[in-house]
């Protein structure tokens, strides 16, 4: 997914470059690709799929925590009644 985005950006940049610099076009594309890869790596971006998986995991964990808190409250009540 990220690679596709980078390639789309590189393609867009290549389209706006003047035709008379074809000799430099390949070098420019390589440099843009490398720069984007470095920038995106430093940003520690995740794919939408990875984000959705983590969000789902967090939701399930939160549900379990709430159930445990409820159970603990009930047990504390029982202990107070004794």
Domain boundaries, the chain: 1-45, 47-82
Extract the runs of DSSP E, i.e. beta strands, from the chain. none
Closest CA to 5 of 55, 51, 47: 47
Q: What integer pLDDT is reported at residue 73 of this predicted model?
A: 95
* pLDDT exceeds 80 at position 4: yes
Match 């997914």 to its residue by tokens.
1
The predicted pLDDT at position 28 comes to 83
pLDDT of residue 70: 97
Give tens-digit pLDDT for 17-61: 777 777 787 888 889 889 988 888 888 878 889 999 999 999 999
What is the per-residue pLDDT for 69? 97
pTM score: 0.50
Tokens at 28, concatenated: 């420019």
């Amino acid at each position: 997914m990220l690679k596709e985005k980078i390639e789309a950006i590189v393609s867009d940049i290549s389209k706006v470059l003047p035709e008379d610099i074809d000799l430099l076009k390949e070098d420019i594309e390589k440099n843009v690709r490398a720069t984007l890869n470095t920038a995106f790596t430093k940003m520690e971006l995740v794919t939408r799929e990875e984000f959705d998986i983590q969000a789902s995991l967090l939701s399930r964990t939160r549900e379990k925590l709430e159930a445990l808190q409820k159970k603990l409250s009930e047990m504390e009540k029982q202990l107070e009644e004794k």
